Amino acid sequence: MSQFTSEDEALLQSMLRQLLQSVKEKITGAPSVECAEEILLHLEETDENFHNYEFVKYLRQYINNTVGSVIEEETEKCTSAQSQGEVSGYDTLVQHVTKKTRESKEYTEMMHALKNVMMVVVESLINKFEEDRMRNKELDSKPKKGRQSGYDTDNCSDSDSSFNQSYTFMSQEQLQLLVERFDPVQPKEVRQKALQTLCIAPPSDILNSESWPNLRKHLTMSLSDPDAAFSEKILRFYAKTFSSSPFNMTREVYTSLARHLELYFLSGEYSLRISAGLDVSNADVNRLLKKIRLLNEYQKEAPSSWIRHPEKYMEEVVESTLSLLSVKREPDHPASPDFLSPIYFLALLDIKAVWFKKWTHAYYSRTVVFRLLEKKYKSLINAAVQQCLDYFEFCKAAVNTNSKISEFSQQHCSDKQNFSYTGSELQHIYFVHSLCLLGRLLIYKQGRNLFPIKLKNKKDSVTVTDLLVLFTQLIYYFPSHQKTALTTQTESYSPASLAMEILQAFCDQAGCTAECLYTDAVIDALLHPVQSLLSGKEVYINCLETTLIDVADILARIAAVEDGLSFLLYGDGENEKTAKEDGPTAVHVIVQFTKKLLHDDISLLSGAEILPVVKGAFIFVCRQMYRTCEGLQMLIPYGLHESIGEAWKKTSLLSERVPTPVTGTDSTSSISLESKNILLWEETLLDALLNYSATSKGLFLLHGTGALNDCVNFMFSSLSKKLQTNEYEEFGNRVIVTQMATTPTGAVALQSSGFIKALVTELWALLECGKDDLRITQPKSTPVDPIDQSCQKSFLSLINLLTYPAVLELLSQQDIPNKPMYSFREVPTDITDIIDRLIILNSEAKIHSLFNYEQSHIFGLRLLNVLCCELNTLLLLETQYHVSQALLTAQAENVTETPEGPGDFIIDGLSVERNHVLVRINLIGGPQERILPLRELDKGSDPYPWPMFSSFPLPKCYLAEIPRKAELRQDKDLDKLLSLLKSPEKQSGWAEICRKQFCKVMKSRPDAISGKNGPNSTDYRRKMLTDAFCTGPFLRETKISSS
């Protein structure tokens, strides 16, 4: 079969055509010829039907018939050689057979024949393709009705209709001819045909060709063609290029489109004005919006790829964009102030400046953007600041005259589609875009370095602080839509919500917050409505309650940070003394206002529907302060805790008086809503009082309000519901539990609320029972760690709870049950039960009542190990429960049995843990005074080298040797005292008393101190002290008082 007949050629041609048709989609989707070749070369890896193609089957059969015998012969030779040790390994065998086969005469002849026949087959296919193409071209040249309207007039400029056509790979000569036909001087029909050919050509070939610079010029000029269908077809080509080509190619397309738009806005042909509004349904406006929309879509997508290309490519895109957006009329032009610039159109399509957010997200691009803004296009920032200032003055004037300025929100909140915008609506849209752009700009230090800026109509420069004050004032000088049924999308475009987003972002950025927000001007602007209400001045603010809630939200975010809290407490001063000299700081204004709110002393807010929400918001600001020692110290003189306590008592009485709703009455829904609001307000007050216990002084103040038990019950209810910690707080209620446990009354309140019972019950379920709602599909794995990971949280909770005051209150004069029998269903409920069931296991009944005896007992021993670190707790446990004797007894029982009697200790996890606890609780001192045995076992014949014991005294190996002589450090204070006492003129009355008492003790107990004589020995120092105290002039007898 080395020679092919004409029938074989026809068969191969048919099978090859079938293969190409099967992979047509993959080939036509390739951006270039090289990619198409790669797809065909790796077809076996990517196409699961590769071995089912007839062409592949034919080639496999042909190769097998031609060189199959050669492969079998070489394989037999290598196999015999491998058995003799000459060839080793499967890989070596395959390589050897492959090499010999390719060197064979049969393989050479086969490849030569295949090459010749495939050249004939491919040439025949190409000829048929050219014939079909010429036939189609002749058909296209015939006039057809409706040809002029044959272009797709899809409203979407980035339509992908061109992707449904097959690619035509073009040579450089064909591309050059295409460029010539696309010249604007050519007839319209010629240019249309050239455009049609351009749309079916691979964009990569077009952009990589030598003719692309000239073609780009022609395309840019053709975008202004009066024929809408023709220019839209070019836009479609641009869209296809953006979606299928890499950034290094598309940047040129983008810059050409941006340049075209820039020239169009500067030309005399463009004459749109802001005051005249904008009709989007107009054909020319619609075409312009499509072009800008295509730019905006590319602006959002480009940042994901431009980091992989040289910086100059990205700089071209950024500069062309900023140059377009900075377009404006000459100052002396009559229509200059009313010029509808490109930035308005971009704001219409991307009102929240998402493009700028993406461009400044990464440092790589952010640096370029800010550098160009500073050097060339600072006018863009100036215009945005000017727009914000002008719009603010407009809002402020409207609020003072009680007029309505929410035209944009009210007219565009309906579902009816609107195709026109008035001048004021365009100004509002540009204002929103500018506000979002400036908010993003000021987050970064490079952006803040662009300020201060100088505006034409302002005498002073505008600083970053001025802008932040402006954002703050927008919160209360622009009407809120709290009581209007608007959509969420419309509400998100209101100046108040946008300003809140910016200020909240500043609070989340620690660096810029400290630099920008912590200034007197910004805080004064925030507190302006609060101070006005305190002083009784008239307030021109729409929806005052919502404004106050927003102000409290920002203040709470500031107070949640250490630097922000310090600024609220002391202002620019570093301490309380400096703050008092400079006048009252923000904390005084906030606390006074909060107290007035609690006492309902503010007339403008009386009867407000959401007044409890306002109160809760400002209580939360104060709560952020009194959770710290410094903040609490500043708030104590105001007695805020007393005001909150009084408000809670009144609310609790109201909640008790709310009647139970009766079915069938008309007031059911209103009573139910009123009851819910009262209960919610009561929980808010309890939560505020509870957070006083975050500090010791605050816990004392909480005791004075009489609400301690109710607060603990509320906390236990919150923990039961597993409510998450507030986002502004560093810790939750579990830290408050630890603080509560440091006082006896707090421990009693925790026990009476059921918190301790719930904690012990949860621990027992984890140790012994497991989760009831867990479907057992496989056995539970045996714990490897001494305390299983599932029990660690409960372990830490017990440790935090069992401080000495809590232990004394919960265990004093409480005996352990020591029952003769324990049921498996008997669950511990308090700390005494934990000691009885997990620590002091002194009976068989206790041991047999545990499902996981070893794990549970180790948990108890570890708990005892930590509790005994507190000396008072250790003494209480020893005197009341004799824990040492219980552990020694358990060790004595844990030995092997021999004919002679008790043998060696059994080394297991429990004996090792008991040994460690016994050493810890019976030897006091640090690492230089005692040696604690390790809990790990060593490898080898002696896994546990530490001696175990079941009676006192302890082995001496656990006592550290006290360093002697040179190792004993010099006591400089004692040396100084000795030198002082040697000088008779410096002695005073206290020396007489010390001398007589020291001599008395040393004479009555001379053996109390031992050691060798030497300059650093104890005997030497004793002699020095004795000489100093007992020699010298005779001193008068002095009596020592009992104190």
Q: Which whole number is the average pLDDT over 989-1005?
A: 74
CA distance 321 to 298: 11
CA distance 774 to 790: 14
pLDDT over 90 percentage in the chain: 45
Q: Which whole number is the average pLDDT over 788-796?
A: 87
All residues at 6 or more sequence positions from 920 whose CB lies less than 8 Å from its CB, including other chains: 865, 868, 869, 932
What is the pLDDT, as a whole number, of residue 160? 38
What is the pLDDT, as a whole number, of residue 699? 93
CA distance 242 to 257: 12
What is the pLDDT, as a whole number, of residue 158? 40
Confidence of residue 1002 (pLDDT cuts 50, 70, 90): confident
At 625 the three-state DSSP class reads helix
What is the pLDDT, as a whole number, of residue 1015? 47
What is the pLDDT, as a whole number, of residue 1040? 33
CA distance 732 to 739: 12
What is the pLDDT, as a whole number, of residue 1030? 46
Contact 547, 476 (CB under 8 A): yes
Nearest residue to 814 via CA among 800, 802, 830: 830
Which residue do the tokens 């910004």 mark? Answer: 522
Beta strand 278-279 pairing with 420-421: antiparallel
What is the pLDDT, as a whole number, of residue 159? 37
pLDDT in tens, 527-553: 999 999 998 887 777 788 999 999 999
Lowest mean pLDDT among 36-45, 578-587, 611-620, 1013-1022: 1013-1022
Statement: residue 805 has pLDDT above 50? yes
pLDDT in tens, 910-940: 999 999 999 999 998 888 889 999 998 888 8
CB atoms near residue 386 (< 10 Å): 18
Q: Count CA atoms closer than 13 A to 566's CA, side-chain side.
A: 9
Pull the structure tokens for residue 577: 């003394």
CA distance 931 to 924: 10
Strand partners, 235: none
Helix H or strand E encompassing 896? strand 895-898
CA distance 838 to 151: 85
Lowest mean pLDDT among 462-471, 484-493, 749-758, 843-852: 484-493
At 959 the three-state DSSP class reads strand
CA distance 118 to 13: 9
What is the pLDDT, as a whole number, of residue 917? 96
Q: Which whole number is the average pLDDT over 894-907?
A: 86
Pull the structure tokens for residue 1029: 């105290």
Lowest mean pLDDT among 94-98, 240-244, 853-857, 961-965: 961-965
pLDDT in tens, 428-475: 999 999 999 999 999 999 999 999 999 988 889 999 999 999 999 999
What is the pLDDT, as a whole number, of residue 665? 52
What is the pLDDT, as a whole number, of residue 604? 86
CA distance 1040 to 1043: 8
All residues at 6 or more sequence positions from 89 whose CB lies less than 8 Å from its CB, including other chains: none
What is the pLDDT, as a whole number, of residue 657? 64
Between 709 and 1043, where is the model more confident? 709
Which residue do the tokens 């070939």 mark? Answer: 205
What is the pLDDT, as a whole number, of residue 774? 52
What is the pLDDT, as a whole number, of residue 901? 75
Pull the structure tokens for residue 569: 């407490």
Confidence of residue 597 (pLDDT cuts 50, 70, 90): very high
Lowest mean pLDDT among 72-81, 178-187, 269-278, 741-750: 72-81
Task: Tell me the Ramachandran region of residue 1032: left when phi exceeds 0, alpha when psi lies from -120 to 50, beta otherwise.
Answer: left
Dihedral angle, C-alpha 275, 279, 283, 288, nearest 10 °: 60
Confidence of residue 706 (pLDDT cuts 50, 70, 90): very high
CA distance 429 to 407: 12
Pull the structure tokens for residue 923: 């030897």
pLDDT averaged over every residue in the chain: 82
Between 276 and 492, where is the model more confident? 276
CB atoms near residue 585 (< 10 Å): 22
Instruction: Please spell the DSSP secondary structure of 854-917, one letter per residue.
Output: HHHHHHHHHHHHHHTTSHHHHHHHHHHH-HHHHHHHHHHHSEEEETTEEEEEP-SHHHHHHHHH
At 639 the three-state DSSP class reads coil
What is the pLDDT, as a whole number, of residue 161? 34
Statement: residue 754 has pLDDT above 70? yes
Contact 797, 734 (CB under 8 A): yes
Statement: residue 633 has pLDDT above 90? yes
What is the pLDDT, as a whole number, of residue 54? 85
Q: Which whole number is the average pLDDT over 1016-1031?
A: 50
Q: Can you give the C-alpha Rg of the chain in angstroms?
A: 44
- Type of residue found at 955: P
What is the pLDDT, as a whole number, of residue 422? 93
For the purposes of burial, counting CB atoms within 10 Å of the CB of 822, is it exposed (0-12), middle (13-18) or buried (19 or more)? middle
Pull the structure tokens for residue 486: 């608007």
Strand partners, 273: 339
DSSP class of residue 166 equals P
Beta strand 895-898 pairing with 901-905: antiparallel
pLDDT in tens, 402-430: 544 444 444 444 444 567 899 999 999 99
Which residue do the tokens 């002082």 mark? Answer: 980
Confidence of residue 263 (pLDDT cuts 50, 70, 90): very high
Helix H or strand E encompassing 278? strand 278-279
What is the pLDDT, as a whole number, of residue 898? 82
Lowest mean pLDDT among 57-66, 372-381, 763-772: 763-772
Strand partners, 959: 930
Statement: residue 300 has pLDDT above 90? yes
What is the pLDDT, as a whole number, of residue 478? 73
DSSP class of residue 574 equals S
* Residue-wise burial string across 690-726, b where 16 or more C-beta atoms lie within 10 A, e elsewhere: bbbbbbeebbebbbebebbebbbbbbbebbeeeeeee
Lowest mean pLDDT among 15-29, 639-653, 987-1001: 987-1001
Statement: residue 85 has pLDDT above 70? no
Lowest mean pLDDT among 147-161, 373-387, 554-568, 611-625: 147-161
DSSP class of residue 152 equals -
Contact 292, 284 (CB under 8 A): no
What is the pLDDT, as a whole number, of residue 614? 95
CA distance 924 to 416: 82
Q: Could you tell me how many residues make up the chain?
A: 1043
Between 1006 and 691, where is the model more confident? 691
Helix H or strand E encompassing 895? strand 895-898
On the question of a cis peptide bond just before residue 927, with omega within 30 degrees of 0, the verdict is: no
pLDDT in tens, 104-155: 888 888 888 888 888 888 888 887 777 766 766 655 554 443 443 333 334 3
What is the pLDDT, as a whole number, of residue 138? 59
